[in-house]
């Protein structure tokens, strides 16, 4: 534990806790700003998380502390870090700050991937599924489609589930009948209830659920056999999802490693594409 990052040590503090949606939001904000949070007041943390100051106090009590000051003292012990030496973000405009925020999200993802075990396990689950449903609704639909586009080049039966409605369960059933043993889900804020319901149903049908979510505390965590978090950027009017997209590509790589004919399929596609003049050099 001593060699882990401040973000990882904070993550361990929250693991296994039954947190409310507001408390998950606070925990997520703390993990994203692990280097700064031991130095923040309860008011500053509330502003960072977009919640009320009393919510921060209740959060500290829910974690077993007398109040926020006690939690902050504990944070300085488990996640010690110096405040940024650069002197704050005042030198950057809002667009630059959004980019820097995404760079920080990618740094957190890199720290997480220092342990390749979860990604390798996910790759094995996805590769072994004879039919592979890829779920992502609303904001996450583009993540699901992007993953599905590339996965279809190496996997024989990829089924992108990017539309909700009454047929969603039917499509999960069809994938299961075609040999699906796993489902991958991209879950981003705001989290549609329909996604949570679909994952609960998928698990009832015996599918192993692999989720890429913005936080380990996302609502889909309860219905995920394996969840790998990748934070979204919140510095602009609409969230940005560079880290979830990159994590999706990493999972594709892990899946390819467990598909024995992946390279042959890619070479076959390149040959056909060249014969058809599909791409302009």
Per-residue confidence (pLDDT) for residue 127, from 0 to 100: 97
pLDDT digits (tens, 9 = 90+) for 176-185: 999 999 999 9
C-alpha triplet 6, 64, 20: angle, nearest 5°? 80
Q: For 222, phi and psi rounded to 5 degrees?
A: -60, -25
pLDDT digits (tens, 9 = 90+) for 28-37: 788 778 778 8
Q: In this structure, how many other beta carbons lie within 10 angstroms of the beta carbon of residue 233?
A: 22
pLDDT digits (tens, 9 = 90+) for 192-226: 999 999 999 999 999 999 999 998 889 999 999 99
- Are residues 53 and 68 in contact, defined by beta-carbon separation less than 8 angstroms? no
Strand-pair partners of 192: none
Mean predicted lDDT score pLDDT of the chain:
88
- 213: helix, coil or strand? strand
Alpha carbon 201 to chain centroid, angstroms: 21
Predicted confidence (pLDDT) at residue 84 exceeds the cutoff of 60: no
Percentage of the chain beyond pLDDT 90 is 58
Q: In this structure, how many other beta carbons lie within 10 angstroms of the beta carbon of residue 77?
A: 9
Radius of gyration of the chain (CA): 21
Contacts 24+ apart (CB under 8 A), 38-45: 38/72, 38/75, 38/76, 38/79, 38/80, 38/81, 39/83, 40/72, 42/68
Per-residue confidence (pLDDT) for residue 5, from 0 to 100: 67
Residue 162 to residue 136: CA distance in whole angstroms = 5
- Are residues 36 and 69 in contact, defined by beta-carbon separation less than 8 angstroms? no
Q: Report the residue count for the chain.
A: 281
Going from the C-alpha of 4 to that of each of 10, 111, 215, the distances in angstroms are 10, 9, 18
Per-residue confidence (pLDDT) for residue 82, from 0 to 100: 46
pLDDT confidence band for 229 (50 / 70 / 90): very high
Predicted confidence (pLDDT) at residue 228 exceeds the cutoff of 50: yes
Percentage of the chain beyond pLDDT 70 is 93
pTM for the full predicted model: 0.74
Predicted confidence (pLDDT) at residue 134 exceeds the cutoff of 90: yes
Per-residue confidence (pLDDT) for residue 81, from 0 to 100: 53
User: What number of helices (H) and strands (E) belong to the chain?
Assistant: 12, 5
pLDDT confidence band for 126 (50 / 70 / 90): very high
Residue 238 to residue 221: CA distance in whole angstroms = 23
The sign of the CA dihedral 32, 29, 39, 77 is negative
* Better-predicted residue by pLDDT, 89 or 147: 147
Predicted confidence (pLDDT) at residue 52 exceeds the cutoff of 70: yes
pLDDT confidence band for 86 (50 / 70 / 90): very low
- Are residues 223 and 235 in contact, defined by beta-carbon separation less than 8 angstroms? no
pLDDT digits (tens, 9 = 90+) for 237-268: 788 999 999 999 999 999 999 999 999 999 99
């Amino acid at each position: 534990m001593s060699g882990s990052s401040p973000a990882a040590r904070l993550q361990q503090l929250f693991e296994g806790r039954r947190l409310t949606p507001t408390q998950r939001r606070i925990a997520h904000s703390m993990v994203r700003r692990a280097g700064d949070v031991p130095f923040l007041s309860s008011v500053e943390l509330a502003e960072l998380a977009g919640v009320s100051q009393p919510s921060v106090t209740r959060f500290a009590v829910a974690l077993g502390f007398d109040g926020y000051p006690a939690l902050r003292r504990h944070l300085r012990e488990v996640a010690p870090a110096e405040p940024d030496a650069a002197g704050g973000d005042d030198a950057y405009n809002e667009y630059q700050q959004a980019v820097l925020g995404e760079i920080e999200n990618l740094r957190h993802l890199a720290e997480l991937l220092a342990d390749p075990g979860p990604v390798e396990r996910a790759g094995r689950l996805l590769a072994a599924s004879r039919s592979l449903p890829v779920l992502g609704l609303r904001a996450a639909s583009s993540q699901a489609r992007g993953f599905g586009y590339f996965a279809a080049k190496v996997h024989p039966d990829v089924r992108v589930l990017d539309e909700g409605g009454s047929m969603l369960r039917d499509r999960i059933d069809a994938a299961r009948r075609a040999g699906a043993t796993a489902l991958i889900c991209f879950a981003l804020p705001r989290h549609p209830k329909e996604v949570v319901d679909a994952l609960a149903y998928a698990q009832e049908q015996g599918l192993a659920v692999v989720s890429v979510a913005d936080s380990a505390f996302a609502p889909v965590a309860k219905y995920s056999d394996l969840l790998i978090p990748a934070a979204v950027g919140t510095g602009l009017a609409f969230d940005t999802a560079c880290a979830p997209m990159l994590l999706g590509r990493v999972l594709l790589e892990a899946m390819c490693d467990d598909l024995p004919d992946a390279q042959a399929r890619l070479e076959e596609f390149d040959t056909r594409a060249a014969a058809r003049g599909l791409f302009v050099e």
